[in-house]
């Protein structure tokens, strides 16, 4: 029993990690009042950028940063269109996903099937020796350990720093924030671009740790799952962790079933994460916590005059 | 210093200027992208143009691709008008194709005038039902329809895979995932021996029908009014829930028809290569056309031409088809940014304050 469960839980943590980065990234963006549906496209582009940088420089850490940077660049397009030009946030995000998918298929051609240096799992000193928990949480790659810290930093940023409170204020009432002497436009840019950075780290995880290879379609719907998880998590980092591992679990379980050679057709197994996303949305809607959404989410700040 | 000012009166021709500007901008960016890949950019754009409009063969191809795009975009636009974000045209398209195939395989012996209508009806029903799932979830539980329609796209495509790899697979296909070829009665014929089929006439009828419905019926008026939001609709004593169901059913049904037409007239069987992203391009088309049926016809033609032109580039310049997707993304982003100038203008602000 444990021989089956412990590797499954360990795989859960690994496949939940990119979703966790992306969910926190989208949550950061939405906290500032901007909906970014481009997560799927951003993840794809940053996965390619991370792969490319690691391939060229030989340093996976540079790759990781390049992934985050690519996420920032993509997100700043969204920020420009929505925050400065008052474009529709839903459509702009979709456009970003379309663009991102196209860019990776176009620019990634020379790298398909190639391998780049990535992150390998290692036993975290001391902690990996804890029974059960050590096997599940502390025999991974470095990026998983980084992902343990980020939700805490996220929480600290929004609860304990004034900048975090200012960002949240523009997500709630931009007009009031402006009246209080804050700069809502600037804060929104910050939220969108910082969020893009986090999403980009999630994309980088896919090409540098999840696989060390470049293939097309690496994001495989994870970006959309992340958007759904932000709702499920009621815009709280702690619940984002729970949600991300829930999906990681289903993905790991589904892969294991396929590898074990069940009689179920693989196309039906592959539906599981998408069905679960809908289920998760139903559950979170059923609990009726819509009040937790930033009040100004999705509405642009109209310039006066 | 420049300052933002609201326009006192709307900018005549502004929408067209923004649209053409976006097109031009995307062409320039794509040329740069080609150059970055070490290709001859000017030659590339010539190939793009010739591929789309160069000869009768490619024009036929453009019309063929414009048909499913037009039907999907009509569906998307109807929902968007009411601020229902149906991103699920891709999945509804797949379900339509499944419905049509189901009828074609179940009654292969029927004559065309019975079988084709059956296929269309079933495609509309399955596409519509697929869109009603997120509609009901939204009305009853306030589940975000953007994500549910998207997830249903993934599920629909996997369902299609499941069918063509499994129960519907042609035993004589040497292991390829495809159904047997349809019988004659299940195929929409070409017009006067050309490759362009009668689906195009169907599009014209559906387009005019929808336009008339929006323009002249009470329901159509209520629909546009509800675009202002559920609250406004309720004040105007409009049954908002009913309208959402109607709109989503129509929206999915149209996409389903597109799937039916494409399967029947172009592929003559169901196979995974049916899914080339018409449902996603439809979102671009609908938004570029500012949700107006007549504009949608024009924009579908244009984006179909882009697809055909890119296929030509693919052949002659050895670039992936994704090049077209990039251009679609750029055009849409630029139009979104450019629409700023429809409501606002930048004026010079005097230096002293």
**Which band of pLDDT confidence, cut at 50, 70 and 90, is reported for residue A75?**
very high
Residues B153 and B294 in one domain: yes
Predicted confidence at residue B348, as pLDDT, reads: 79
B201-253 pLDDT, tens digit each: 999 999 999 999 988 988 888 887 777 666 666 666 678 888 899 999 999 99
Residues B214 and B336 in one domain: no
Residues B142 and B21 in one domain: no
Predicted confidence at residue B13, as pLDDT, reads: 83
Q: Is B50 part of any domain?
A: no
- Contact of B229 with chain A, judged by CB distance below 8 Å, is answered with no
Please name the residue that has the structure tokens 């069940």. A262
Query: Domain range holding B289?
Result: 66-317
Residue of chain B nearest A81, judged by CA positions: B337
pLDDT at A290 over 70: no
Residues B261 and B338 in one domain: no
| Domain edges within chain A | 1-287
Helix extents (H) in chain A: 2-31, 39-57, 60-79, 89-107, 133-137, 142-160, 162-172, 174-179, 184-205, 222-232, 237-259, 266-270, 272-286
**What token pair was written down for B183?**
């019988």
Taking the C-alpha atoms of residue B97 and residue B122, their distance in angstroms, rounded to an integer, is 9
Predicted confidence at residue B161, as pLDDT, reads: 94
Residues B10 and B110 in one domain: no
pLDDT at B90 over 70: yes
Cβ distance A134 to A122 under 8 Å? no
A52 neighbourhood in chain B, CB within 8 Å: none
User: Please, what's the b/e burial string for A82-113 (b: 16 or more CB within 10 A of its CB; e: otherwise)?
Assistant: bbbbbbbbbbbbbbbbbbbbbbbbbbbeebee
Average pLDDT on A165-187 reads 93
Using alpha carbons only, give the angle A294, A84, B324 rounded to the nearest 5 degrees: 100
* CA dihedral (A166, A171, A172, A175) positive or negative: positive
- Number of domains, chain B: 2
Residues B85 and B3 in one domain: no
The long-range contacts involving A134-139, CB below 8 angstroms and separated by at least 24 positions, are A135/A6, A135/A10, A136/A6, A136/A9, A136/A10, A136/A12, A136/A13, A137/A10, A137/A13, A139/A10
* C-alpha to C-alpha distances, B338 to B16, B17, B254, nearest whole angstrom: 11, 9, 30
Cross-chain residue pair A281–B150, CB shorter than 8 Å: no
Residues B325 and B311 in one domain: no
A200-234 pLDDT, tens digit each: 999 999 999 998 889 988 898 999 999 999 999 99
**Which band of pLDDT confidence, cut at 50, 70 and 90, is reported for residue A173?**
very high
> Residue A288, exposed/middle/buried by CB under 10 A (0-12, 13-18, 19+)?
exposed
Taking the C-alpha atoms of residue B256 and residue B233, their distance in angstroms, rounded to an integer, is 28
* C-alpha to C-alpha distances, B253 to B52, B124, B127, B129, nearest whole angstrom: 29, 4, 5, 8
pLDDT at A256 over 90: no
Residue of chain B nearest A300, judged by CA positions: B340
A99 neighbourhood in chain B, CB within 8 Å: 325-326, 328-330, 333
Taking the C-alpha atoms of residue A140 and residue B310, their distance in angstroms, rounded to an integer, is 43
pLDDT at A301 over 60: yes
Q: Among the listed ranges A45-49, A88-92, B144-148, B218-222, which one has the minimum average pLDDT value?
A: B218-222
- Contact of B231 with chain A, judged by CB distance below 8 Å, is answered with no
Average pLDDT on A91-95 reads 95
Q: Are strands B344-348 and B2-6 parallel, antiparallel or unpaired?
A: antiparallel
Q: Is B8 part of any domain?
A: yes
B323-352 pLDDT, tens digit each: 999 999 999 999 999 988 888 888 877 665
pLDDT at A289 over 70: no
Cross-chain residue pair B339–A85, CB shorter than 8 Å: yes
Residues B242 and B163 in one domain: yes
- Contact of B83 with chain A, judged by CB distance below 8 Å, is answered with no
Residues B124 and B236 in one domain: yes
Question: How many residue pairs from chains A and B have C-beta atoms closer than 8 A?
Answer: 142
Taking the C-alpha atoms of residue A165 and residue A169, their distance in angstroms, rounded to an integer, is 6
Residues contacting residue B213 through CB under 8 Å, at least 6 positions apart: B219, B220
**Looking at per-residue confidence, does B325 or A263 come out higher?**
B325
pLDDT at A25 over 90: yes
B21-46 pLDDT, tens digit each: 999 999 999 999 999 888 888 999 99
Predicted confidence at residue B176, as pLDDT, reads: 85
**Of all residues in chain B, what percent carry a pLDDT higher than 70?**
96
Mean model confidence pLDDT for chain A: 92
Taking the C-alpha atoms of residue B323 and residue A107, their distance in angstroms, rounded to an integer, is 9
**Which band of pLDDT confidence, cut at 50, 70 and 90, is reported for residue A262?**
confident
Please name the residue that has the structure tokens 């980088």. A204
Q: Among the listed ranges A151-155, A301-305, B50-54, B133-137, which one has the minimum average pLDDT value?
A: A301-305
Disruptive mutation site among B38, B82, B154 for chain A (greatest number of A CBs within 10 Å) = B154
pLDDT at A98 over 60: yes
Residues B188 and B229 in one domain: yes
Q: Is B56 part of any domain?
A: no
Q: Is B155 part of any domain?
A: yes
Pseudo-torsion of CA A67, A70, A75, A80, nearest 10°?
160
Instruction: Give, as one character, the DSSP assignment of residue B20.
Output: H
- Contact of B284 with chain A, judged by CB distance below 8 Å, is answered with yes
Mean model confidence pLDDT for chain B: 90
Q: Which residues pair with B3 in a beta bridge?
A: B347
- Contact of B150 with chain A, judged by CB distance below 8 Å, is answered with yes
**What token pair was written down for B199?**
């689906």
Alpha carbon of residue A264 to chain centroid? 30
Cross-chain residue pair A224–B141, CB shorter than 8 Å: no
Instruction: Give, as one character, the DSSP assignment of residue B180.
Output: P
Of A224, A267, A286, the CB nearest to B147: A224
Residues B264 and B340 in one domain: no
Residues contacting residue B179 through CB under 8 Å, at least 6 positions apart: B101, B105, B164, B168, B169, B170, B269, B270, B271
Residue of chain B nearest A80, judged by CA positions: B337
> Residue A255, exposed/middle/buried by CB under 10 A (0-12, 13-18, 19+)?
middle
Q: Among the listed ranges A241-250, B190-199, B308-317, which one has the minimum average pLDDT value?
A: B190-199
Of A84, A277, A290, the CB nearest to B151: A277
Cβ distance A189 to A79 under 8 Å? yes
Q: Is B46 part of any domain?
A: no
Backbone φ and ψ of B344, nearest 5°: -125, 160
Taking the C-alpha atoms of residue A24 and residue A93, their distance in angstroms, rounded to an integer, is 17
Please name the residue that has the structure tokens 């939001």. B229
- Contact of B328 with chain A, judged by CB distance below 8 Å, is answered with yes
Taking the C-alpha atoms of residue A63 and residue A47, their distance in angstroms, rounded to an integer, is 9
| DSSP helix/strand/coil, B344 | strand
A138-162 pLDDT, tens digit each: 989 999 999 999 999 999 999 999 9
**Which band of pLDDT confidence, cut at 50, 70 and 90, is reported for residue A19?**
very high
Cross-chain residue pair B147–A221, CB shorter than 8 Å: no
Q: Report, at the CATH architecture level, how domain A1-287 is classified.
A: Orthogonal Bundle (1.10)
Residues B147 and B254 in one domain: yes
> Residue B88, exposed/middle/buried by CB under 10 A (0-12, 13-18, 19+)?
buried
């Amino acid at each position: 029993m444990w021989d089956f469960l412990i590797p499954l839980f360990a795989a859960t943590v690994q496949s939940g990690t990119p979703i966790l980065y992306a969910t926190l990234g989208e949550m950061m963006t939405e906290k500032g009042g901007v909906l970014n549906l481009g997560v799927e496209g951003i993840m794809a582009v940053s996965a390619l950028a991370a792969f490319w940088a690691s391939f060229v420089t030989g340093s996976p850490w540079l790759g990781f940063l390049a992934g985050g940077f690519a996420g920032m660049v993509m997100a700043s397009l969204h920020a420009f269109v929505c925050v400065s030009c008052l474009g529709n946030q839903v459509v702009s995000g979709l456009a970003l996903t379309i663009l991102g998918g196209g860019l990776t298929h176009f620019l990634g051609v020379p790298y398909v099937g190639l391998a780049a240096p990535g992150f390998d799992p290692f036993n975290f000193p001391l902690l990996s020796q804890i029974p059960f928990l050590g096997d599940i949480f502390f025999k991974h790659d470095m990026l998983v350990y980084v992902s343990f810290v980020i939700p805490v930093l996220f929480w600290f940023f929004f609860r304990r720093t004034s900048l975090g409170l200012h960002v949240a204020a523009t997500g709630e009432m931009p007009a009031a924030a402006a009246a209080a002497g804050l700069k809502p436009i600037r804060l929104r840019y910050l939220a969108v671009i910082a969020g893009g950075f986090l999403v980009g780290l999630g994309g980088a995880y896919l090409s540098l740790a999840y696989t060390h290879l470049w293939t097309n379609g690496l994001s495989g719907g994870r970006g959309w799952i992340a958007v759904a998880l932000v709702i499920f998590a009621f815009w709280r980092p702690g619940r984002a962790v729970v949600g991300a591992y829930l999906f990681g679990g289903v993905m790991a379980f589904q892969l294991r079933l396929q590898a074990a050679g069940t009689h179920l057709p693989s196309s039906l197994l592959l539906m599981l994460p998408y069905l679960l996303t809908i289920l998760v949305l139903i559950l979170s809607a059923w609990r009726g916590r819509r009040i937790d959404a930033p009040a100004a989410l999705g509405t642009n700040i109209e310039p006066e005059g | 210093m420049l300052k933002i000012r609201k326009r006192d009166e709307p900018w005549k021709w502004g929408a067209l200027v923004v649209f053409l500007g976006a097109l031009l901008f995307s062409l320039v960016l794509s040329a740069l992208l080609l150059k970055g890949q070490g290709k001859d950019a000017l030659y590339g754009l010539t190939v793009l143009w010739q591929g789309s409009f160069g000869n009768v063969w490619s024009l036929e191809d453009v019309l063929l691709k414009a048909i499913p795009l037009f039907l999907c975009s009509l569906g998307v636009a109807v929902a968007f008008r009411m601020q229902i974000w149906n991103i699920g045209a891709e999945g509804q398209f797949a379900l339509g194709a499944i419905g049509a195939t189901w009828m074609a395989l179940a009654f292969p012996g029927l004559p065309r005038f019975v079988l084709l209508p059956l296929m269309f009806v079933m495609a509309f029903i399955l596409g519509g039902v697929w869109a009603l799932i997120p509609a009901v979830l939204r009305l009853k539980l306030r589940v975000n329809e953007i994500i549910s329609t998207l997830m249903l796209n993934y599920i629909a495509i996997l369902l299609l895979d499941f069918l063509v790899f499994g129960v519907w697979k042609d035993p004589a296909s040497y292991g390829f995932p495809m159904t047997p070829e349809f019988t004659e009665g299940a195929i929409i014929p070409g017009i006067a021996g050309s490759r362009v089929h009668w689906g195009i006439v169907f599009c014209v009828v559906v387009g005019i029908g929808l336009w008339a419905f929006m323009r002249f019926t009470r329901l159509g008026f209520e629909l546009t009014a509800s675009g202002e939001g559920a609250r406004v609709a309720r004040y105007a004593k409009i049954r908002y829930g009913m309208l959402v169901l109607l709109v989503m059913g129509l929206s999915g049904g149209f996409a389903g028809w597109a799937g039916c037409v494409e399967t029947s007239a172009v592929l003559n069987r169901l196979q995974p290569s049916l899914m080339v992203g018409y449902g996603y391009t439809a979102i671009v088309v609908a938004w570029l056309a500012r949700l107006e049926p007549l504009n949608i016809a024009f924009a579908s033609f244009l984006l179909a031409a882009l697809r055909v032109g890119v296929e030509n580039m693919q052949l002659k310049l050895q670039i992936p088809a994704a090049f077209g997707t990039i251009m679609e993304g750029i055009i849409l982003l630029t139009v979104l940014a450019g629409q700023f100038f429809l409501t606002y203008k930048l004026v010079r602000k005097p230096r002293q304050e």
